[in-house]
Chains A and B, each alone.
Chain A
């Protein structure tokens, strides 16, 4: 019986027009959001682990009202239960503050394994899994591109540029998985219908015993100073070959420091 908590994030749709608020936090209200695609890989791996043996998958999210959508999607994929930590005071929390809320929530749950995606598709720092492991006093095995669970032993394969490492950990562990673990499933029709009957708990900071002063924009150690939209793509440069095309191409590449 493996009890797995998968932490998932509700993020603005990467294919939509993403914007920032006046305080330079990500606009999460006026953009369609979804379960971060990178977290879907973690949900998929968790489901495969419990399907092979026995167990339960609980998805945990910290986010505004709409973040319930991310939980629901994971339940439709097959997770058993959801927890949504939702409190106005959390808005604007940086990775460190968020990791506090996540760790406190995980402590309230029964678990053998905590799983994350490799990074969020909006913040993309990829440090939350390690921060949470530190707060929970657990080993972190991160960036797994393959994961197996055998009793209380968790093994991951981590692919680097030069070599692949096999990392093993015993007991309770925090794991993050990459997008190399295998395509996440689409919710089946049965999964969609079953999801509405699955329990979702909503917790506030008070439920977790976290003081509102420890989180939010003001308590965050990092502050975003300014944001600017990515400049529009400019038209490419067209080289007309008048016998010197090769030289011109080489000059262009050299000017961009490619050669």
Chain B
């Protein structure tokens, strides 16, 4: 990690360029896509073409050769412009990192270039009906066949499957079906025979949907197994720090947008003699939100810098703390922003009420607030394990 507490000139230039692109689309585009049942295809394609989605993919596979912090900056700026792309957390960050670090040369050549330029997206599925916070409970299983694998199981709350070319499935192998999870990762094309999915009726204003997946004896070839059978947990964990760093950026971006709306409103809206922002009861919560956003962003950037420096243990702690702080501040920011706008806060026209359900997501997924507190209590403070 460098001594400076500011991002590099290039990172800042990237933020600016992405923010400009984000403004071209904006919250109205995002909400309209949701309302009309469309996807954010145009934005995804343009961001991909400009190399923003592939910033962290190695250059030899068509990416920008940048860091996870660059990708996180892209995610945050798009969210701050009103286009929070959940699939950025999944496709380039989790799946991209795992394939780039553990994939065979052939797998990298096959899967990474499309991911880098945004022409392909991959979903990621670990959660099961009986395995949310406790991923050791997963039961989706890969059975060996003569020329590959047969997958059986169910996943739920999986984002973006309808937009994805393939899903990275966290499963167990038949010889390790019970006990502590020894995961095997399979990349399954979404058109594979025996693979079906149903949309879950969510209350979130986003064109990106969640699904329950069914694998009924889905046959996949040998090389659908990403990396090796034995790398197991290590392979899965490789994707988790980027996931948390991205989830934090997704949240801080949304929080920035809520604060920006509230601040602009508080400067203009006049009920008594001065704009409502003159009342400390209105101004202080906004000031507090600004402080909390900046702290969460700083922790996110620290996690990204530690990750880039290869210190994965320290990065893990920082990424969890960042995710906690970002999840809390986005809930607070949207809550306080709505209060600032009074009745208008609940009108679609002002763009806040549609952020409400989504803001709660950051407290729950990909890892809940409580599980982070468990982690910090146990690993940072050395308290006894509680579960």
Interface SS, A side: helix
The segment from B12-20, B153-161, B334-342, B375-383 found at the interface with A is B12-20
* Minimum distance in angstroms from A233 CB to a CB of chain B: 11
A-facing residues in B41-90 (Cβ within 8 Å): 49-52, 54-55, 64-66, 70
Cβ of B66: which chain A residues have Cβ within 8 Å of it? 189, 193
A-B contact pairs, 27 of them (CB 8 A): A72-B13, A76-B13, A76-B17, A186-B17, A186-B20, A186-B21, A186-B50, A187-B17, A187-B50, A188-B51, A188-B52, A189-B14, A189-B50, A189-B51, A189-B52, A189-B64, A189-B66, A190-B51, A190-B64, A192-B10, A192-B13, A192-B17, A193-B10, A193-B65, A193-B66, A195-B13, A196-B9
A-facing residues in B1-35 (Cβ within 8 Å): 9-10, 13-14, 17, 20-21
Residue of A nearest to B64 (CB): A189
Which residues of A approach B to under 8 Å, CB–CB? 72, 76, 186-190, 192-193, 195-196
Query: How long is the Cα–Cα vector from A188 to B18 in the complex, in angstroms?
Result: 9
Cβ of B13: which chain A residues have Cβ within 8 Å of it? 72, 76, 187, 192, 195
* Minimum distance in angstroms from A64 CB to a CB of chain B: 18
Cβ of B49: which chain A residues have Cβ within 8 Å of it? 188
Which of B9, B50, B55, B65 gathers most chain A CB within 10 Å?
A: B50
Cβ of A195: which chain B residues have Cβ within 8 Å of it? 13
Asked if B14 and A192 make an inter-chain contact with CB atoms under 8 angstroms apart, the answer reads yes
A-B contact count (CB 8 A): 36
Contact size range, B? 10 to 19
Asked if B70 and A189 make an inter-chain contact with CB atoms under 8 angstroms apart, the answer reads yes
Cβ of A196: which chain B residues have Cβ within 8 Å of it? 9-10
Q: Which 5 A-B pairs have the closest CB atoms?
A: A189-B51, A189-B64, A188-B50, A187-B17, A188-B51
Given contacts A186-B50, A188-B50, A188-B51, contact A193 B17 (CB under 8 A): no
Cβ of A193: which chain B residues have Cβ within 8 Å of it? 10, 64-66
- Beyond A76-B13, A189-B64, 6 extra complex contacts between A and B, CB < 8 Å: A72-B13, A188-B51, A188-B52, A189-B52, A192-B10, A196-B9
* Minimum distance in angstroms from B20 CB to a CB of chain A: 6
Cβ of B55: which chain A residues have Cβ within 8 Å of it? 189
* Minimum distance in angstroms from A258 CB to a CB of chain B: 29
Cβ of B50: which chain A residues have Cβ within 8 Å of it? 186-189
Query: How long is the Cα–Cα vector from A189 to B74 in the complex, in angstroms?
Result: 10
* Minimum distance in angstroms from B112 CB to a CB of chain A: 15
* Minimum distance in angstroms from B361 CB to a CB of chain A: 27
Cβ of B70: which chain A residues have Cβ within 8 Å of it? 189
